[in-house]
Chains A and B, each alone.
Chain A
Amino acid sequence: MFERFTRGARDVVEGAVGHAERAGDADVTPEHLLLALLDAEGTKAAYACAALGVTDRRDAVTAALAEARRRGGVSEADEGALAGLGIDVGAIVSRVEEAHGEGALERTRTKRRRFTGHRSFARESKEVLEQSLRVAIGRGDRSIGDEHLLLALTVRPGVVRDVLAAHGASYDEVVRVLGTS
């Protein structure tokens, strides 16, 4: 599959590893893929993110990702759905943090120094890469570019899809600005 990745898509994958390393995270997650996509310049994904105003709101996107992480992987949209069941996620997070410290619900970061040199892709990230291939095939494209990675992130359920949608980059919107080419 990787031989079909364009230079831009490879840069995103490598950039995601860099984001994971700098954050001290054990795995490369879809969040890291999104952060790497926002670093892109001169690519189709960069064009789409700029056209939808996501690039300009990079700080807000980063903050939303951090907040969802702090809440144990619960996005703002998830929080609303759970509120419909009478579950107050904010209250749960506050109480857990009171008892176990700030950030207690975040996924644990790597403590094993021997893993600092090499990071593996989380299952969710592998699914994003597989999804990007399906998206490319579905659009009739022969190679996988970073725009297919962006589209894959808007398709796969999870925090990244929710954060992108909340900042104007739903699947439909990304498809619209990319056109049919």
Chain B
Amino acid sequence: MTEATDLAERAGDRDPRIGLRAVAALRRLLERLESVQVRSARNQGWSWQEIAAELGVSRQAVHKKYGRQ
């Protein structure tokens, strides 16, 4: 964890590499979180329309991304 701690400390130095790394990692995590929540909603009987409305995107977009899983 020393590497992680060092990076955390350096984040305060406004190093763009750390900031950009954080953004990229957050994007990956976000994708995974979305997938988990969409799957959970489908398992609970939500329609694609309902899921899309909560995510603020079109029904087609959600269905295209997750419809075949």
A105 touches B36 (CB 8 A): yes
Q: Point out the residues of chain B lying under 8 angstroms from A108, CB to CB.
A: 35, 69
Q: Point out the residues of chain B lying under 8 angstroms from A100, CB to CB.
A: 36, 40
Report how many residues on chain B are interfacial, defined by Cβ distance under 8 Å: 27
A74 touches B29 (CB 8 A): yes
Say which residue of B5, B10, B22, B40 sits within 8 Å of A85 (CB atoms).
B22
In Å, the complex CA distance between A72 and B69 comes to 17
B22 touches A157 (CB 8 A): no
B35 touches A85 (CB 8 A): no
Q: Point out the residues of chain A lying under 8 angstroms from B5, CB to CB.
A: 80
Counted as pairs of residues, one from A and one from B, with CB atoms less than 8 Å apart, the total is 84
Shortest beta-carbon distance, A95 to chain B, in Å? 11
A78 touches B21 (CB 8 A): yes
Report how many residues on chain A are interfacial, defined by Cβ distance under 8 Å: 29
Q: Point out the residues of chain B lying under 8 angstroms from A106, CB to CB.
A: 32
In Å, the complex CA distance between A100 and B27 comes to 20
Evaluate whether A76 and B33 lie within 8 angstroms (CB atoms) in the complex, with A81-B22, A84-B12, A108-B69 already known.
no
B36 touches A81 (CB 8 A): no
A35 within 8 A of B: no
In Å, the complex CA distance between A74 and B31 comes to 12
A43-69 Cβ-contact flags toward B at 8 Å (1 or 0): 000000000000000000000000000
**What residue in chain B is nearest A112 (Cβ atoms)?**
B68
B6 within 8 A of A: yes
In Å, the complex CA distance between A78 and B20 comes to 10
Shortest beta-carbon distance, A96 to chain B, in Å? 6
- Given contacts A80-B11, A81-B21, A82-B26, could you give 10 more A-B pairs where the C-beta distance is less than 8 Å? A72-B28, A72-B29, A72-B33, A77-B21, A80-B5, A80-B8, A81-B22, A83-B7, A83-B11, A111-B69
